[in-house]
Amino acid sequence: MSEPLETEDFFMHLCSLAAKRSNDPVTRVGSVIVNEDNIIVGVGHNEMPKNSNKFSWEKDNPNPLENKGPYVCHAELNAIVNKNAANLKNCRIYVSMFPCNECAKLIIQLGITEVIYYSDKRANKDYTKASKRMFRETGVKVRQFSPKNEKISIDCDEINGDKSRKRRRPDESDS
């Protein structure tokens, strides 16, 4: 059995796992909000608004209303919407990609005190520069995450210690 994950590795890898729920064919982002006791209080991924399947995941259509930008709900927003705590003051947010300016506003207004991100691939975009400026001016700590474990594997049989369990096809039942 492998060594236990470091706490921060766990949270960032959970961001990666949440991102795998996104239907975006190009940019999959995950977010995890953690309180001062290291308890997860919110998880989200980027997705279109609920009950909508008519919006495109395109990003280069000449018609701006046919691109994903105006419609997609970012991972940070969804982690906030999905929160299981009354307030997020003094929480930390882990994100697989540096937050945009709109998400930065939410993070600041909710009293989240630290942003831990993995990728900053859009560092030269104005909205990312605006985010960094807002975080700096409002005292929100920001740091890029360097994992101790770049990759993890998830094997339910290993976790449960049951190598003898028969694997079933989805159409099989217990009877």
How far apart CA 118 and CA 113 sit, in angstroms, is 17
Binding residue ranges for Zn(2+)? 74, 100, 103
Half-sphere exposure of 87 (CA within 13 A, CB side): 7
Give counts: helices (H), strands (E), the chain.
5, 5
Q: Which residues pair with 13 in a beta bridge?
A: none
Residues written for the chain? 175
Binding residue ranges? 74, 100, 103
Token pair 């492998």 is found at: 2
Q: How many CB atoms lie within 10 A of CB 74?
A: 21
| Residue tagged active-site, from 3, 76, 114, 137 | 76
How far apart CA 33 and CA 52 sit, in angstroms, is 25
**Does the active-site annotation cover 76?**
yes
Q: Give the residue numbers annotated as catalytic, written as ranges.
A: 76
